[in-house]
Amino acid sequence: MQRIIVITGTDTGVGKTVLTAWLAAHLRARGARVAALKPICSGGRADARALLHALGGTLTLDEINPWHFRAPLTPLLAARKERKQVQLREVLAHIRSIARRFDIVLVEGAGGLLSPLGEDFNTRDWITALRAEVIIVGRNQLGVVNHLRLTLEALPPACAARAKIVLMSPPRVDLVSRTNLALAQEFMRPAPVFVLPWQEARDAAVAVRNARVRRVLRQLLP
């Protein structure tokens, strides 16, 4: 059965691309036909190139990332600086077109759930229109539980009830990062919460060889 999974976050720079690339590499290693998309980005295409590498050439860079803008601003403003517009219907049509060729499609948003991506839409609109599964990514640091709760509350209730949460750990584990899992599990019910360890390797194929990473990814997407 075809699955579309949207990876969103509590903010920008929380690890959405890292998780999406790891999931893509992990699923490919298990023999799944998987696509990973970053439909819109601004300030460079490094995230899209990371997904390109994780997919091993299954998609082109322009298929992964059709809309890209130079300014390091929220995509809506970056597009306007270039006198361009991105419409929700165009993005949805692209995602659905790619989805016809794959069993699983990972779609990474830009910024947080409600960050403006184009003219009158955000990642929540993708989730609703695609009836997608949702993974929320947050930094495993002080304050993340508040950010996760706000993100869950902003989702449609049916989506929030099926959402999964991933905490991306910092390079050095401290008291906060050790205790966030239990706190998040207490306040995020019924959403399952997972913690991924820090990995120095930027290559997704290398990172997913780590037994701890692989175990969490298997639990996240059984």
- The conformational region for residue 206 under phi > 0 = left, psi -120 to 50 = alpha, else beta, is alpha
Per the CB < 8 A criterion, the answer to whether 64 and 20 are in contact is no
Question: Would you give the DSSP letter of residue 142?
Answer: T
Rg (CA), the chain: 16
> Which of 38, 81, 84, 164 is the catalytic position?
38
Q: Where are the alpha helices (DSSP H) in the chain?
A: 16-29, 46-55, 61-64, 75-81, 88-99, 123-130, 144-154, 157-162, 175-188, 204-207, 211-220
38 catalytic, yes or no?
Answer: yes
Residues with a known catalytic role? 38
